[in-house]
């Protein structure tokens, strides 16, 4: 008999790809997906079976969802961004037999947020989250290196697996770097309007190149609105008209086209974040800088990528900063081809479904 897997998927830019990939790569499994209803429809395969709710708290009220989880062999919570109230209801209402089937798939922001807590409310929230995690079967990390991070941040020891955030097999994108028509060095900084990008720090470092022929591309289309305004103010102050903030959401092909016109990507993020952007830029043959005290540093080094440390830019000349060897591009293309191999992704998720 085919296994029944119920996926509770956070509603985000990753939701569509997650649902399509699972349905496409594991056709012998009976998948059911539960996600929040928004005013934007998901572009899914016809065979995808999806249930929608308006608020997280509704999950505990919908009889169809209760039936699904009772019959499920595995329950995956992908993107653990539930509010504290919902977690309390989870602890009170969900029987132990169901909790023993639950695997929580962490994306990054759903646990790194507890790294620097400053209020009583955050302390309570962190305690409830730890209690919730300890009540389920296992956790799933996007990368191996994140397990040590969550273990230290939440003070937990838990059975864990490593499984990717899937790309959407329904979409075919064009990856092509256009031939440059000018000599302007275009530098992409960060991936979102979140403080973990450490924008101001890297603006001060890159500011020494502001008299050069450069353009700063800064994606800020989602995240914290107040933080976004601070970043734009600082970017304008340091770089003037050379600062180009991206404040409106772009479809993926348009965004790939934007990245293809950049020469360098700088990801000064102080946690695992922006891996989608990083992978795209590697695929496009760009030179990348990543913060060396980030869990992604060891991940990408282990995979054979060639990239550089954001903390070393301070001591670089402009020529050193922008230089890139063709051999590095070849190594990165070989590494990203291996990383994008679907068989690796399937292998990781198969362990989750089978164990």
Task: DSSP for 221-270, please give it.
Answer: SSB-HHHHHHHHHHHHHHHGGGEEEE-S---HHHHHHHHHT-SEEEE--S
Under the banding of pLDDT at 50, 70 and 90, the label for residue 234 is very high
In the block, residue with structure tokens 């929230």: 125
Which pLDDT value is given to residue 1?
Answer: 53
185-339: CATH topology: Rossmann fold (3.40.50)
Which pLDDT value is given to residue 62?
Answer: 79
The average confidence (pLDDT) of the chain is: 92
Sheet holding 50-53, edge to edge: 50-53, 30-36, 4-9, 74-78, 102-105, 138-141, 160-162
The tokens describing 60, both together, are 């505990």
Q: Is the pLDDT of residue 111 over 90?
A: yes
Which pLDDT value is given to residue 170?
Answer: 87
Q: Is the pLDDT of residue 59 over 70?
A: yes
Residue 268: Cβ-neighbour burial (10 angstroms; 0-12, 13-18, 19+): buried
User: For 206-225, what is the mean pLDDT?
Assistant: 95
Q: Is the pLDDT of residue 147 over 90?
A: yes
Domains 4-167+342-354 and 185-339 share a fold: yes
Q: Is the pLDDT of residue 116 over 90?
A: no
H/E segment holding residue 333: helix 326-339
Is this model's pTM higher than 0.85 or not? yes
The tokens describing 201, both together, are 């720090």
Please tell me the distance from the alpha carbon of residue 195 to that of residue 182, in angstroms, as a whole number. 33
The SS3 of residue 216 is strand
Which pLDDT value is given to residue 11?
Answer: 92
Instruction: Give the per-residue SS3 of 287-310.
Output: EEEECCCCHHHHHHHHCCCCCEEH
Which pLDDT value is given to residue 82?
Answer: 74
Domain ranges of the chain: 4-167+342-354, 185-339
CATH superfamily of 4-167+342-354: Glycogen Phosphorylase B; (3.40.50.2000)
Nearest to 263 by CA among 144, 182, 337, 342: 182
In the block, residue with structure tokens 């003037």: 240
Residue with more model confidence, 313 or 83: 313
Under the banding of pLDDT at 50, 70 and 90, the label for residue 269 is very high
């Amino acid at each position: 008999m085919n296994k029944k897997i119920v996926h509770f998927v956070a509603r985000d830019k990753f939701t569509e790809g997650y649902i399509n990939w699972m349905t496409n790569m594991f056709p012998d499994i009976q998948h059911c997906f539960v996600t929040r209803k928004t005013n934007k429809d998901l572009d899914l395969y016809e065979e995808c079976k999806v249930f929608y709710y308006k608020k997280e708290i509704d999950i505990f009220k919908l009889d169809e969802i209760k039936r699904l989880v009772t019959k499920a062999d595995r329950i995956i919570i992908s993107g653990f961004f539930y509010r504290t109230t919902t977690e309390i209801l989870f602890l009170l209402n969900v029987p132990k037999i169901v909790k023993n089937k639950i695997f929580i798939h962490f994306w990054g922001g759903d646990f790194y947020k507890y790294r620097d807590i400053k209020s009583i409310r955050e302390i309570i929230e962190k305690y409830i989250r730890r209690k919730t995690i300890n009540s389920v079967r296992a956790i799933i990390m996007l990368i191996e290196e994140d397990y040590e991070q969550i273990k230290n941040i939440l003070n937990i020891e838990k059975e864990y697996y490593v499984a990717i955030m899937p790309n959407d097999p329904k979409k075919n994108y064009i990856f092509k770097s256009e031939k440059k028509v000018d000599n302007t060095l275009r530098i992409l900084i960060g991936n979102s309007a979140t403080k973990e990008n450490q924008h101001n720090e890297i603006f001060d470092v890159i500011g020494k190149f502001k008299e050069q022929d450069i353009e700063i591309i800064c994606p800020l289309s989602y995240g914290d609105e107040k933080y976004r305004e601070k970043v734009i103010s600082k970017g304008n102050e340091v770089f003037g008209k050379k600062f180009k903030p991206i404040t409106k959401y772009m479809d993926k092909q348009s965004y790939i086209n934007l990245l293809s016109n950049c020469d360098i990507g700088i990801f000064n993020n102080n946690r695992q974040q922006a891996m989608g952007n990083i992978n795209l830029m590697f695929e496009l043959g760009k030179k990348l800088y990543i913060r060396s005290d980030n869990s992604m540093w060891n991940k990408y080094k282990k995979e054979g990528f060639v990239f550089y440390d954001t903390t070393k830019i301070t001591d670089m000349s402009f020529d050193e900063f922008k230089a890139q060897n063709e051999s590095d591009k070849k190594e990165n293309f070989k590494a990203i081809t291996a990383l994008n191999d679907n068989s690796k992704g399937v292998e990781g998720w198969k362990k989750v479904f089978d164990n």
